[in-house]
């Protein structure tokens, strides 16, 4: 098992042998991680699935499209 920098592993999570958790990732409570987790991801569920932790969007917001102030 290899755990990168700045990783959060919540209570009750199970990480199986040989799995790599990428830097900046989060493993949710009660998750069972059986495959590698990419950097900057959230691993959640049993078996764990990964989703990006990035909240950035390149698409303009509806208010921006109409020229309204934020």
CB 34 within 8 A of CB 18: no
Residue 20: cis peptide before it, omega within 30 degrees of 0 = no
Give the start-to-end residue ranges of the domains of the chain: 2-52
> What is the CATH code of the structural domain delimited by 2-52?
2.160.10.10
Q: Which residues of the chain have pLDDT under 70?
A: 55-70
User: What is the model's pLDDT at position 63?
Assistant: 57
Q: Return mean pLDDT, the chain.
A: 87
Q: Token pair of 41, please?
A: 């991801």
User: What is the model's pLDDT at position 56?
Assistant: 61
Exposure of 37 by Cβ count < 10 A (0-12 exposed, 13-18 middle, 19+ buried)?
buried
User: What is the model's pLDDT at position 58?
Assistant: 62
């Amino acid at each position: 098992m290899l755990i990168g920098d700045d990783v959060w592993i919540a209570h009750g999570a199970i990480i199986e042998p040989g799995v790599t958790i990428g830097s900046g990732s989060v493993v949710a409570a009660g998750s069972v991680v059986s495959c590698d987790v990419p950097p900057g991801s959230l691993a959640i569920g049993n078996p764990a699935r990964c989703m990006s932790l990035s909240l950035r969007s390149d698409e303009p917001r509806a208010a921006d499209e109409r020229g309204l102030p934020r």
